[in-house]
């Protein structure tokens, strides 16, 4: 009997030892640790999620950091590598991303604009996982506006999740400067130029510009285009149904040139934040910028919405909403897709969106977020989003391919210094087949 008990005891101890060893080695086999000893995740492992974006520095990173903090609270066993590359609108990040994607070294997830930047670059190259099942499982299909889901879809597959909606056709202005110079908010380009003349006579820079990175000037041009063409023809232009030699595009180029007559002389040495500072300190009166500038004014410069700075739709585009959406997807070939999906779930949640967007200046992409978390600007933008015609931004990747955008930015850059309308139009016409 004693012998039998001893044998049973030995068997149990051995069995426990084997189980302990095999669970350790199955951790390795799962891919938690690769040959280089580097944590490389694995289907069900708890690893590291690398988030690639261009949100560094003032006015850009506060929202992302809040989202990361929320994620870490909820997922203490998954670490985050914040791999942001500075440069507004992805000026530098997009090139780094392209190299990595081509080298089959994708980040776990990366910032990408809904629309052509996602579809023509990464979906067309078969680099993204479809997320339809993920949307269904999490019941997101009716939580995001249909237009947004369309922007992140191609051939019936959904490829990313929008974290926000920014608006690009906004002018921010210094309220004190407007008041002192008795300027009314302009709604048409004629009123705008009248206001600009008055400000210039008073010694104030009418329009702040920082086109060290040329997308800021491209953004002004696209808004002028929208005003001249209206939302339907603006979309037709980028669908290739209207040519860039259309007379209204020529007029838009002329008007764009006229706006450039009112900007600060040192525009080429400033980035967008530097140009926003001119408005903040009253040297300049107005700034056309996506509403990440709202985040910058309110959170970084401590200015008060509707007290220190006001806002109005880019003249001639009231009732229209130049839509910019930052989205994140799941690249093919990442080691730990389940961990990445945990991050995407937080980013897609009401809680995640309401942590991110009030700091970023954008409105939530989800329709069921809490408006009370947003200031008056955010509340107004939410209303405008519901009641406006939505159009895709060129400068921020939705309207056309990266190839076309690169050429358009170059053409804009040359136009800003040379002001040759014919050359500018010709450059756009030649780039159009790449749209
Ligand atoms: C946009 C992006 C925004 C903001 C901006 C300035 O392309 O969608 O979130 O970061 O660039 O860098």
Q: Express each pLDDT in 229-247 by its tens digit.
A: 999 999 999 999 999 999 9
228 lines ligand 1 (CB under 6 A): no
Cα–ligand 1 centroid distance for 154 (angstroms): 23
Distance CA 341, CA 326 (A): 17
Is residue 171 helix, strand or coil? strand
Cα–ligand 1 centroid distance for 307 (angstroms): 25
Give the total residue count for the chain.
435
| pTM of the predicted structure, to 2 decimals | 0.89
Taken in order of first residue, the domains within the chain and their CATH numbers are 49-165+324-392 (3.40.190.10), 167-323+394-434 (3.40.190.10)
89 lines ligand 1 (CB under 6 A): yes
**Closest C-alpha residue for ligand 1 atom 7:** 89
Cα–ligand 1 centroid distance for 37 (angstroms): 36
Q: Which residues are CB-neighbours of 345 under 8 A, at least 6 positions away?
A: 138
**Closest C-alpha residue for ligand 1 atom 11:** 89
Distance CA 288, CA 162 (A): 23
Distance CA 391, CA 302 (A): 31
Among the residues of 261-334, which ranges form H helices?
272-280, 292-295
Distance CA 344, CA 133 (A): 14
Dihedral sign, CA of 136, 138, 142, 147?
Answer: negative
Cα–ligand 1 centroid distance for 26 (angstroms): 42
Of the residues 218, 396, 397, 409, which should be mutated to test ligand 1's pocket, given the most ligand atoms within 8 Å of the CB?
396
Is residue 69 helix, strand or coil? helix
pLDDT in tens, the chain (435 residues): 444 444 444 444 334 333 333 333 333 333 333 333 333 333 445 689 999 999 999 999 999 999 999 999 999 999 999 999 999 999 999 999 999 999 999 999 999 999 999 999 999 999 999 999 999 999 999 999 999 999 999 999 999 999 999 999 999 999 999 999 999 999 999 999 999 999 999 999 999 999 999 999 999 999 999 999 999 999 999 999 999 999 999 999 999 999 999 999 999 999 999 999 999 999 999 999 999 999 999 999 999 999 999 999 999 999 999 999 999 999 999 999 999 999 999 999 999 999 999 999 999 999 999 999 999 999 999 999 999 999 999 999 999 999 999 999 999 999 999 999 999 999 999 999 999
**Closest C-alpha residue for ligand 1 atom 1:** 89
Instruction: Give the number of C-alpha atoms closer than 13 A to the C-alpha of residue 57, restricted to the C-beta side.
Output: 11
CA trace torsion 359, 153, 106, 332 (10° rounding)? 140
SS3 content of the chain, % helix, strand, coil (to 5): 50, 15, 35
Cα–ligand 1 centroid distance for 424 (angstroms): 25
326 lines ligand 1 (CB under 6 A): yes
Instruction: Return the ∠ at Cα 238 (arms to 112 and 429), rounded to 5°.
Output: 115
Dihedral sign, CA of 240, 160, 114, 397?
Answer: negative
**Closest C-alpha residue for ligand 1 atom 9:** 326
324 lines ligand 1 (CB under 6 A): yes
Cα–ligand 1 centroid distance for 54 (angstroms): 8
The answer to whether 146 and 254 are in contact (CB under 8 A) is: no
**Closest C-alpha residue for ligand 1 atom 8:** 326
Distance CA 415, CA 420 (A): 6
Cα–ligand 1 centroid distance for 205 (angstroms): 25
Cα–ligand 1 centroid distance for 162 (angstroms): 13
Whole-angstrom CA distances from 320 to 36, 184, 347 are 53, 21, 27
Interval 204-219: pLDDT, tens: 999 999 999 999 999 9
**Cβ-count burial of 187 within 10 angstroms (0-12 exposed, 13-18 middle, 19+ buried)?**
middle
């Amino acid at each position: 009997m004693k012998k039998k008990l001893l044998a049973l005891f030995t068997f149990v101890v051995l069995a426990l030892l084997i189980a302990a060893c095999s669970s350790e080695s199955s951790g390795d086999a799962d891919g938690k640790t690769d040959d280089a000893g580097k944590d490389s995740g694995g289907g069900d492992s708890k690893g590291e999620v690398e988030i690639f974006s261009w949100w560094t520095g003032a006015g850009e990173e506060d929202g992302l950091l809040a989202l990361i903090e929320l994620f870490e609270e909820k997922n203490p066993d998954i670490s985050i590598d914040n791999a942001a590359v500075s440069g507004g609108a992805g000026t530098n990040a997009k090139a780094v991303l392209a190299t990595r994607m081509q080298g089959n070294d994708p980040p776990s997830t990366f910032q990408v604009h809904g629309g052509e930047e996602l579809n023509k670059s990464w979906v067309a190259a078969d680099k993204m996982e479809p997320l339809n099942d993920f949307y269904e499982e999490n019941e997101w299909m009716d939580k995001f506006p249909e237009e947004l889901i369309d922007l992140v879809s191609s051939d019936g597959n959904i490829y990313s999740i929008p974290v926000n909606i920014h608006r690009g056709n906004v002018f921010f202005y210094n309220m004190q400067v407007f008041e002192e110079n008795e300027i009314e908010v302009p709604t048409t380009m004629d009123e705008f130029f009248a206001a600009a003349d008055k400000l210039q006579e008073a010694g104030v820079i009418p329009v702040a510009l920082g086109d060290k990175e040329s997308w800021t000037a491209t953004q002004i041009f696209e808004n002028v285009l929208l005003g001249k063409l209206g939302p339907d023809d603006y979309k037709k232009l980028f669908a290739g149904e209207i040519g860039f030699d259309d007379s209204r595009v020529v007029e838009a180029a002329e008007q764009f040139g006229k706006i450039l007559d009112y900007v600060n002389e040192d525009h080429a040495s400033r980035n967008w934040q530097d140009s926003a500072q001119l408005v903040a300190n009253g040297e300049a009166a107005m700034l056309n910028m996506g509403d990440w500038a709202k985040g910058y004014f309110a959170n970084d410069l401590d200015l008060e919405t509707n007290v220190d700075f006001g806002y109005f739709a880019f003249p001639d585009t009231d009732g229209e909403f130049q839509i910019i959406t930052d989205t994140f997807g799941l690249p093919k070939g990442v080691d730990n897709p389940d961990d990445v999906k945990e991050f995407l779930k937080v980013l897609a949640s009401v809680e995640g969106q309401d942590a991110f967007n009030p700091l970023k200046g954008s409105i939530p992409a989800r329709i069921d977020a809490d408006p009370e978390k947003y200031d008056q600007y955010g509340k107004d933008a939410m209303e405008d989003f519901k009641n406006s015609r939505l159009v895709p931004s060129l400068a921020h990747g939705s309207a056309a391919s990266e190839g076309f955008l690169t050429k358009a930015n170059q053409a804009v850059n040359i136009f800003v210094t040379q002001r040759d309308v014919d050359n500018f139009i010709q450059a756009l016409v030649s780039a159009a087949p790449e749209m």
